[in-house]
Copies of this chain bind each other. A is one copy, B any other.
Amino acid sequence: MLANESQNPELLRKYQSLDTPFLSVDKQIVLKNLARLRNKIDGLGAELRPHFKTVRAIEAVEHLLPQKISPITVSTVKEAEALVEEGYSNIVYAVGISEGKLPRISQLIAKGAKVRVLLDTLEQAQFVSQYSEQHCCVIPAMIEVDCDGHRGGIHPDDPLLIEIANILHQGVASFHGVLAHAGESYLCFDPKSLAEAANNEVNMTLKAANNLRAAGIPCDIVSIGSTPTAHSYQDLNGITEVRAGVYGFFDLVMAGIGVCQLKDIAASVVTTVIGHNREKGWIFIDAGWMALSLDRGTAGQPKDCGYGLVTDCNGAVLDGLQVISVNQEHGIIGAVDNSDLSLDNFPVGSRLHILPNHGCATASMHQHYHVFDTANETYEIWNRIQGW
């Protein structure tokens, strides 16, 4: 339920007073999405380590994590710095570490935070180990496991896994465990293939952990996760934690995969109609790629949603309409699937909402999110942490 459905006149006035385009977040939907996954993972006996990269706003962390010592994942050192500044202390920086970033990591460790780095090469293990020794700072590291050939990581049976872990385990740096991400699960479109991707992620990562233990190397953390697989696990025995990012906001890609419905999408871009092309049947809006992002994540899905689906201000999806094209500050809404579009229903000045392909990408285009909670009649601003 969006702000203008609210019976609270103050909230409605706030919503109407904001200049478009802006990112509107429905807080009740976010809280429901967050609780849904946390309950599932709790129920399976693992811990949830939310990925901060989607929301990247300190105001949101209290909703992502039950406590300040609860685990969280980041994609940039900048996020880790902001979290440590606020007293959060259990962090995995889940992008392959480069030597140049170690001074900032070690500063966070010196402040008492556990910030674990991720790696999958001998060179990385060596420089992390050397840096730890030279700077009397134990940098904890995890090894990325390749569970599905998606991107990086080491195959569980590759002898390199033991070799790298040994450098960390026997050196001054410390080895904390293994981490996998089932990136290929984004190509699953039915419950059966999602369950298979989830099982595969679990099994491959357990295999890596067991191979390490068989070689005499402790492997405390066994971390897996992607939003599609996180909602599909059946058994997490042996898995210590699950990571997911976009599950708080959700988006059209996740709806296409089937792990949420359109009504679960919490973040949308509010835009104003600024013109028409009557010959072509186009509506011009003031949300271009600067507000929507250029993400076309649904392009490879069974239902391609263009640059976003269109809803009215109450969140009702306007069937047959899509953002079919974007420029920097212009979007074009057109009819698809032979739908009718009466331009007169959308006069200049009308407000619409655009549901994003990819919540992470669309959120990244906004410095601030405008967060409406119609149940509690509150409005707040979440400020996005920017840069690296």
| A interface with B by C-beta (< 8 Å) | 19-22, 53, 75-77, 95-101, 104, 119-121, 123-124, 127, 151-152, 183, 272-277, 284, 286, 289-291, 293-296, 327-330, 332, 347-349, 360-361, 364-368, 386-388
Nearest CB of B to A253, in Å: 13
Number of this chain's copies in the complex? 2
Contact across chains for A22 and B329 when beta carbons are under 8 A apart: no
Partner of A124, one of B98, B275, B286, B330: B275
Residues of B within 8 A of A366 (CB): 387
- Whether B152 and A284, one on each chain, are in contact in the complex, defined by CB atoms closer than 8 angstroms, is yes
Q: Name the contact of A96 in the complex, choosing from B76, B123, B274, B386 (C-beta under 8 A).
A: B274
Q: Are A95 and B329 in contact (CB under 8 A)?
A: yes
Bound CA span A19–B101, Å: 7
Contacts of A77 in B (CB 8 A): 19
User: A19-B101, A286-B98 are known contacts. Are A387 and B367 too (CB-CB below 8 A)?
Assistant: yes
How far apart are the CA atoms of A368 and B364 in the complex, in Å? 15
Known: A100-B272, A121-B276, A294-B295. 10 other contacts (CB 8 A): A53-B328, A95-B274, A96-B275, A96-B284, A98-B349, A124-B275, A127-B349, A152-B284, A289-B295, A367-B387
Contact partners of A119 in chain B: CB under 8 A? 275
Q: Report the separation of the CA atoms of residues A75 and B21 in the bound assembly, to the nearest whole angstrom.
A: 13
A234 CB, min distance to chain B CBs, angstroms: 27
Q: Are A123 and B347 in contact (CB under 8 A)?
A: yes
In the complex, the answer to whether A274 meets B361 with C-beta atoms within 8 Å is: no
Nearest B residue to A332 via CB reads B151
A120 to B348 CA separation, bound complex (whole angstroms): 11
Checking B98, B101, B296, B349 against A100 with a beta-carbon cut-off of 8 angstroms, the contacting residue is: B349
A296 surroundings in chain B (CB, below 8 A): 294
Residues of B within 8 A of A98 (CB): 20, 272-274, 286, 348-349
From B97, B276, B294, B328, contact of A75 by CB (8 A): B328
A-B contact pairs, 26 of them (CB 8 A): A20-B388, A21-B388, A22-B388, A53-B329, A76-B290, A95-B274, A95-B329, A96-B274, A97-B274, A98-B272, A98-B349, A99-B348, A99-B349, A100-B349, A121-B276, A123-B348, A124-B348, A127-B349, A151-B277, A151-B284, A151-B327, A152-B277, A290-B364, A294-B295, A294-B361, A328-B360
Please, which residues of chain B bring their CB within 8 A of the CB of A327?
A: 151, 183
CA distance A2 to B357 in the complex (A): 37
CA distance A79 to B115 in the complex (A): 39
User: Shortest Cβ distance from A119 into chain B, in angstroms?
Assistant: 8
**In the complex, chain B residues whose CB is within 8 Å of the CB of A53:** 328-329
Q: Which of B101, B121, B272, B295 contacts A275 (CB 8 A)?
A: B121
Most buried by B among A123, A151, A273, A364: A151
Q: Kindly state the separation between the CA atoms of A20 and B276 in the bound complex, as whole angstroms.
A: 43
Q: How far is the CB of A75 from chain B (nearest CB, A)?
A: 4
Cβ–Cβ contact A121 & B348, under 8 A:
yes
**A347 closest partner in B (C-beta):** B123
CA distance A328 to B363 in the complex (A): 12
Q: Which residues of B contact A97 (CB under 8 A)?
A: 274
Known A-B contacts A96-B274, A330-B95; the reply to A289 vs B151 at CB < 8 A is no
Q: How far is the CB of A270 from chain B (nearest CB, A)?
A: 11
